[in-house]
Structure 1
Amino acid sequence: MGFQKKYIPLITGVAVAAGVFIGGKLNFTDTSDRLFTSNSKKDKLNRLIDYIDYEYVDDVNTDSIVDVTVNGILSNLDPHSTYIPKSELQRVTENMKGDFVGIGVSFYTYRDTITVIRPTEGGPSEKAGIKSGDRIIVADGDSIFGRQWSNEAIIKKLKGEKDSKINLKVYRKGQKKLLDFTVKRSDIPIKSVIAAYMLTSDLGYIKINRFAESTYKEFKKALDQLQNQGATKLALDLRDNPGGFLGIAEQIVDEFLEDDKLILFTKNKSGKVEKSFATRKGDFEEGEVFILINENSASASEIVAGALQDNDKGTIVGRRSYGKGLVQREMALGDGSAVRLTVSRYYTPTGRSIQRPYSNGDNDNYYKDYYKRERNGELNDYNSIKVADSLRFTTPKGKVVYGGGGIIPDIFVPLDTSIQNETLSYIQRSGYISYFVFEELDKDRKVYENVTQKDFINNFIISDDVVIKFQDYLNLKENANVTFVAYHDEMKKLIKAALADQLYGRNVYEEIINSNDDMIEEVIKLSQE
């Protein structure tokens, strides 16, 4: 089995960036001297593409040449200026917008058939009567099963205009005939607040996995619910969060800071400074907050952590963050593609830049920074973190903080090496646990009909027999000889979490995965001091 490391360098932002080659008409009587002396730099590129289009000996897809050229140009700028091809832009936009138009099911292709893992709660499919385990066989008269149907083709078929209708034929276990459903497409949220629950009687927990357009509204709703349950303290989990919209991060910070406190400032190439301040709307200004970060917390995550740390608000817990202090703006290129170009740097309230060093054109080493931290021992020992005295700053209450590459936490929590196993990491990424759980669940879903979420979390036990059964399932699928002798407890947790995800959703999944989590245990301890 080709096992890989679980923790890989997180490349923030989504695909990458830029360049416009809109060729004018090419005059082939121009000499090379004229081409390279009297025309602008843009004209050179335009003409080169046209020469290849019209004169090159073989047919060439110049669109692909342009994409390669654009990426080549951007690779010599900074690591975060990125090009988004036309083919990727819709998916990227939907992900950052926070919703898309569809029928509202999570599915996977099981034995060449679209199988519903779970309909979106309150979504159009659930309202129409579609259930977990249903197989969608026909959509608007077209059979959509078989190897020729890729996930992309299926998604394209199920998506459509808002309020449009799609007729589905569904196979349901126990039913002799296919069931007919008419589903009205609507906005389906892509949640970025993936968990919110109480850790203790007064400590709430919220996990954000990216900063999309919808994130602040999701966060505010979750925060209000936790406060109604008695939360006066909050653990905000930004681990492995690659960032997103700067403005959304500012809104979330505003919930914690008093009026007129500086959140951050940006500076562009001309030296123009723009400052962002907290407003009167914060609802958690009196509450105690803990921000959880790790080496994959980047960009907007670091804005939140840096703003609170520099204003002496709350406690930053975890490991040094990624170190991205560059701000990108998305710009359309006119052909359906776009560029996210770095337009400024941002600075925390004390004036520190947390962008880690980079060399133009040397992105490979930049993205391998994780392995450098691993070799240096920084992931396991706070004293291994390298700091420069010249980048030393002081908060209003006298706390010393450093710039130059990420947010250094107030309370360090080392990587839990006891569960860092390559086999377990591979299995988690492979999807085999979810497939196994689905097949087991699909044998008799009625067993869980009356099991409440609370009951499941507190009392449901995965037996050793189930772990052995999954071990056999995996070895059959991979033609391997994997054993979990030393990792039975870890496998039980992963299987239980996957089962919870399919029965109750991501919130319960996260609650189970977080049980006995070192960083969360540290936050609970700090909240009780």
Structure 2
Amino acid sequence: MTARGAFRAAALGLALGTAAQAAAQPGPTGSTRPRTAYEDLQMFSQVLNQIRVNHPDSVDTHRLFMAAVQGMVSAADPHSYVIPAARLSPQKEEQLRAGRLHPVPIRFAYVGGMPTIASVAPGTLAARQNILPGDVLVAIDGRPVQAESPVELEVFLAGPRGSSVRLGLERERADGSRVTLERTVRRERGDDETAVPVVTMLDGQTGYVRITTFSNARAAEDLHAALGRLEREGMRRLVLDLRDNGGGMVAEASRIAGEFLPSGSTVYVAQGRKAEVYDSVVVRRSFWRRERQYPIVVMVNEGTASASELVSGALQDHDRALVVGRPTFGKSLLMGGFPLTDGSLIMLTIGHVKTPCGRVIQRQYRDVRGADYYRMARAERDTAGRPSCRTAGGRTVYGGGGIYPDVVLPEPQPAPVWLARLAEDGVHTRWMGGYLTDNAAAFTTAEALAAAPRLPEGALAQFRAFAQAQGHAIPDGADADRHVERMLLPEIAGAKWGAAGYYRVAAALDEQIGAAVREFERAGQILSGAP
């Protein structure tokens, strides 16, 4: 053995021996009590000193410290994060907040240090690009992502209204395989259009309203106008659709709940470690606005989050509505900003929000791996082990991770693999542009298409041929045809008539809406005081 080899062997033996000795030693505090913060700070100082003294390269200690701070904050929960001072862009952020720049209509969260899609604003171009919660952003215009927090990423992605940006996304499929996708999205605000894109009568007495976001400062006013219109058309019962509503302004949530609850009713309660975080928000209705009295069915799913969970939870707790659908996402945290001495900013969770009867909406986030935090919302969940409380009418309602529906609908079947591949590759989008150029006159109004949601004769054959030429084989049979129509018809309506057209036609194809309508007898019983 050479001298160099002997040195390496001795060094390796020393390292292994030291590690074994350390593993064999009892902890500094023993096994009977947890370590104190002072002891952990001592250990941190030891690690920093060892790097400074022994690392062969020159190391920026502030960079090391900020990395530790970011890791510490992100370990607290998936929604807390740090904005380093060097990455703050006050001028561009001011332009964004003032409306001179527009963001991409996608909400990101950093999970395990990776920018992860949390939700996409409904009705936007991005919502029709097959971008899913849990997708990880890996590139922007072909370059690696440099932003280290949701706010920094929002500012970085902002630009002139209507301009586009290319996003590289990594997706883990249900079978465990991974695929990298590229999507071009337009910079636009989810609140550029109405928050209530679909207002219609499903039959002679049933009104249907879909609220897609509470980020629109006009959401409550839009709903108020929609309800007035439907009431003039003879509405005596309401389907309020909050599916895939990722939330927004809690002030709008309380105003929307106030359309249906008596003045003085609690909408939600905020609580934190500090007393000043506490807040009990109640309905404050103007004297000229009356309280609606008809039966309501509220539709929710795994994409119902944050402020929209506050609305559905308040209506459920007060026995004002029957909640139908899937367990909601489970996000109800209060955030606060705290500056550091170097100019960095910590955005930290400072409290939880509860429903009027005391249910915690926020679901478990500890010991959850990366994007699984967002995928967990789609897992099958029942009432076993959930905390519960009773409403004034004697009904048992459940918390502990989202709003649990009174009537749980079956989880929608996942799209067939061949259909998912079509969507991932954007085949339907490329086909639709050319098809509409030649056949736009075949589609007169969104209402007409919703009343008879079928593609014109020959369209399916044309799409099959187009997909085949793009390397995608579509199975034969009526089931495959139905899947294709359900994918294409809302997209065609969206291209012709915007978000309102998209959601009107999608509603006509939606079996869950039919299931919700069948629950009005029970909704009426709840309203009359029956448990």
Is TM > 0.5 for Structure 1 vs Structure 2? yes
Give the conservation status (yes or no) of the 8 Å contact 1:292–1:316: yes
Is the aligned partner of 1:441 residue 2:456? no
When residues 155 and 469 of structure 1 are mapped into structure 2, their CA distance, relative to the original with a 3 A threshold, is farther
Of 500, 503, 511, which aligns to 1:507?
A: 500
Tell me which of the two structures has the higher relative contact order, counting C-alpha pairs closer than 8 angstroms and 6 or more residues apart.
Answer: 1
Give the conservation status (yes or no) of the 8 Å contact 1:102–1:187: no
Percent identity reads: 24
Question: What's 1:219 paired with?
Answer: 223
Is the aligned partner of 1:199 residue 2:202? yes
Give the conservation status (yes or no) of the 8 Å contact 2:388–2:396: yes
Is the aligned partner of 1:238 residue 2:242? yes
Of 502, 510, 526, which aligns to 2:519?
A: 526
Q: Once the 2 structures are TM-superposed, how far is the Cα of residue 412 of structure 1 from its aligned partner?
A: 1.7
When residues 66 and 493 of structure 1 are mapped into structure 2, their CA distance, relative to the original with a 3 A threshold, is farther
Q: CA separation in 2, counterparts of 1:154 and 1:409? A: 36
Paired amino acid for 1:274: D
Give the conservation status (yes or no) of the 8 Å contact 2:446–2:505: no
Question: Partner of 1:393: helix, strand, or coil?
Answer: strand
Question: Partner of 1:341: helix, strand, or coil?
Answer: strand
Q: CA separation in 1, counterparts of 2:467 and 2:402? A: 39
TM-score (norm 1): 0.63
Q: CA separation in 2, counterparts of 1:71 and 1:522? A: 46
Q: CA separation in 2, counterparts of 1:343 and 1:271? A: 11
Give the conservation status (yes or no) of the 8 Å contact 2:297–2:519: no
Paired amino acid for 1:438: G
Q: Once the 2 structures are TM-superposed, how far is the Cα of residue 395 of structure 1 from its aligned partner?
A: 0.7
Q: Once the 2 structures are TM-superposed, how far is the Cα of residue 429 of structure 1 from its aligned partner?
A: 5.0
Question: What's 2:72 paired with?
Answer: 73
Paired amino acid for 2:355: T
When residues 444 and 422 of structure 1 are mapped into structure 2, their CA distance, relative to the original with a 3 A threshold, is closer
Q: CA separation in 2, counterparts of 1:222 and 1:512? A: 18
Q: CA separation in 2, counterparts of 1:93 and 1:293? A: 35
Query: How far does the alpha carbon of each residue in 1:318-344 deviate from its partner, in whole angstroms, 9 at most, with x for none?
Result: 121122232224668899986542121
Q: CA separation in 2, counterparts of 1:81 and 1:71? A: 9
Query: How far does the alpha carbon of each residue in 1:413-467 deviate from its partner, in whole angstroms, 9 at most, with x for none?
Result: 11132x642332343454432321111112354x35x823333333473146322
Q: CA separation in 1, counterparts of 2:454 and 2:343? A: 51
Question: What's 1:395 paired with?
Answer: 391
Question: What's 2:458 paired with?
Answer: 465
When residues 430 and 81 of structure 1 are mapped into structure 2, their CA distance, relative to the original with a 3 A threshold, is farther
Is the aligned partner of 1:498 residue 2:498? no
Question: Partner of 1:295: helix, strand, or coil?
Answer: coil
- The RMSD of aligned alpha carbons is 4.7
Paired amino acid for 1:233: R
TM-score (norm 2): 0.63
Q: CA separation in 2, counterparts of 1:88 and 1:433? A: 39
Paired amino acid for 2:245: N
Question: What's 1:483 paired with?
Answer: 475
Stretches (4+) displaced over 6 A:
87-95, 152-155, 185-188, 331-338
Paired amino acid for 1:434: T
Paired amino acid for 1:309: Q
Is the aligned partner of 1:257 residue 2:261? yes
Q: Kindly tell me the number of residue pairs found equivalent between the two proteins.
A: 405
Query: How far does the alpha carbon of each residue in 1:151-204 deviate from its partner, in whole angstroms, 9 at most, with x for none?
Result: x999946669xxxxxxxxxxxxxxxxxxxxxxxx99981543332222222222
When residues 66 and 367 of structure 1 are mapped into structure 2, their CA distance, relative to the original with a 3 A threshold, is farther
Of 352, 357, 371, which aligns to 2:359?
A: 352
Paired amino acid for 1:498: E
Question: Partner of 2:75: helix, strand, or coil?
Answer: coil
Paired amino acid for 1:440: Y
Q: CA separation in 2, counterparts of 1:93 and 1:338? A: 16
Paired amino acid for 1:467: L
Of 270, 274, 279, which aligns to 1:270?
A: 274
The within-5 A match list for 1:20-59 is: none
When residues 356 and 299 of structure 1 are mapped into structure 2, their CA distance, relative to the original with a 3 A threshold, is same
Give the conservation status (yes or no) of the 8 Å contact 1:78–1:360: no
Question: Partner of 2:248: helix, strand, or coil?
Answer: coil
The within-5 A match list for 1:171-182 is: none
Q: CA separation in 1, counterparts of 2:281 and 2:191? A: 32
Q: Once the 2 structures are TM-superposed, how far is the Cα of residue 222 of structure 1 from its aligned partner?
A: 2.7
Q: CA separation in 1, counterparts of 2:89 and 2:209? A: 30
When residues 253 and 440 of structure 1 are mapped into structure 2, their CA distance, relative to the original with a 3 A threshold, is same
Q: CA separation in 2, counterparts of 1:351 and 1:205? A: 29
The within-5 A match list for 1:310-459 is: 310-329=317-336, 340-359=347-366, 366-370=373-377, 373-374=379-380, 378=381, 384-388=382-386, 391-417=387-413, 420-443=415-438, 445=440, 447-448=441-442, 451-459=444-452
Q: Once the 2 structures are TM-superposed, how far is the Cα of residue 406 of structure 1 from its aligned partner?
A: 1.7
Q: CA separation in 2, counterparts of 1:305 and 1:490? A: 31
When residues 516 and 470 of structure 1 are mapped into structure 2, their CA distance, relative to the original with a 3 A threshold, is closer
Q: CA separation in 2, counterparts of 1:73 and 1:342? A: 13
Query: How far does the alpha carbon of each residue in 1:221-269 deviate from its partner, in whole angstroms, 9 at most, with x for none?
Result: 3333333333232211111222222222111111110011111111111
Question: Partner of 2:269: helix, strand, or coil?
Answer: strand
Q: CA separation in 2, counterparts of 1:92 and 1:287? A: 44
Q: Could you list the runs of 5+ residues in structure 2 that have no partner in the other structure?
A: 1-37, 106-122, 124-141, 143-154, 164-187, 525-531
